[in-house]
């Protein structure tokens, strides 16, 4: 099992460019999450999904969009990148029952630099 | 609602010394509690978790944590630090929502 994988590992963008980050999991998890990690800020939740075809906003959703067309994939899009979106992005997945999250499994991260 | 407070953003210990990383939580329902570790340039990996069974939980790499309801705490300990324990540690709580709530992390430095 590959667990949670993220593509790409590193990317440099110019301000205003767009890109999509891909997260894939092979554990048949219902729940998937996108976080960003910045120095001194810990992990901040961007968007999440509790099942195929569903998405919900997290703590810092502005400037990002997501889609969950297939259960195993969760895409994070930046329509018009800004320097403030320079960060390390982590995807995670977990089992869960309604209203209760179990262990989250994390991907290796994507480092994004916006110039 | 749930929240997590990690006391001390940086902790330094000597190799062989006791490691104590503090975590206090708030939850309106019986919580699940987690400790994750993040090594440089890697994702987070689970160290241990509490899900309402035994209050003393043993994890990987010699770490353990004790759930104390009266103190709303879930502190992480290791009797003897090793150089390889240097990393960032995150405490997290799961309550009655679809999300884990993470603390802001504690960076552990181990000196020889």
pLDDT, one tens digit per residue, over B23-74 is: 999 988 888 999 999 999 999 999 999 988 789 999 999 999 999 999 999 9
> Does residue A39 sit at the B interface (CB-CB below 8 Å)?
no
Nearest chain A CA: its distance from B36 CA (Å) = 10
Flag if A43 and B102 touch (Cβ within 8 Å): yes
Residue with the bigger pLDDT between A14 and A41: it is A14
- Tell me what percent of the residues of chain A surpass a pLDDT of 70: 98
| B95 contacts B66 by C-beta, under 8 angstroms | no
Residue A97 has pLDDT above 80, yes or no: no
Show contacts of A42-46: CB within 8 Å, 24+ apart: A42/B90, A42/B102, A42/B103, A42/B104, A42/B105, A43/A90, A43/B44, A43/B90, A43/B102, A43/B105, A45/B99, A46/A76, A46/A89
Contact yes or no for A102 and B94 at CB 8 A: yes
- The pLDDT value given to residue B16: 97
Q: How far apart are CA B95 and CA B74, in angstroms?
A: 15
Residues B32, A50: C-beta atoms closer than 8 Å: no
Enumerate residues 47 to 76 of chain A having a beta carbon within 8 A of any beta carbon in chain B: 48, 50, 56, 58
Q: To the nearest whole number, what is the mean pLDDT of chain B? A: 94
Mean pLDDT of the region A75-80: 96
**b vs e for B43-74, b when ≥16 Cβ sit within 10 Å of the residue's Cβ?**
bbebbbbbbeeeeebebeeebbbebeeeeebb
CB contact under 8 A, A106 and B94: no
Q: Which residue has the tokens 């320097």?
A: A83
pLDDT of residue B48: 96
Q: CA-CA distance, A110 to A115, in Å (whole number)?
A: 16
pLDDT given for residue A71 in this prediction: 95
């Amino acid at each position: 099992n590959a667990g949670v994988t993220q593509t790409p590992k590193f990317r440099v963008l110019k301000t205003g460019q767009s890109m999509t980050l891909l997260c894939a999991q092979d554990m048949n998890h219902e729940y998937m999450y996108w976080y960003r990690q910045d120095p001194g800020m810990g992990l901040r939740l961007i968007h999440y999904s509790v099942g195929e075809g569903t998405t919900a906003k997290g703590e810092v959703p502005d400037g990002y969009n997501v889609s969950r067309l297939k259960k195993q994939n969760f895409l994070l899009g930046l329509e018009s990148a800004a320097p403030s979106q320079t960060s390390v992005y982590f995807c995670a997945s977990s089992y869960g029952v309604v209203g209760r999250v179990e262990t989250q499994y994390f991907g290796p991260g994507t480092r994004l630099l916006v110039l | 609602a749930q929240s997590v407070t990690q006391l001390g953003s940086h902790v330094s210990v000597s190799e062989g010394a006791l490691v104590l990383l503090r975590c206090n939580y708030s939850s309106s329902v019986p919580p699940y509690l987690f400790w994750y570790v993040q090594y440089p340039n890697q994702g987070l990996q689970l160290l241990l978790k509490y899900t309402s069974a035994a209050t003393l939980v043993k994890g990987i790499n010699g770490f353990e944590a004790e759930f104390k309801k009266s103190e709303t705490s879930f502190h992480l300990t290791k009797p003897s630090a090793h150089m390889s324990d240097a990393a960032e540690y995150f405490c997290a709580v799961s309550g009655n929502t679809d999300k884990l709530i993470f603390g802001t992390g504690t960076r552990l430095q181990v000196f020889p």
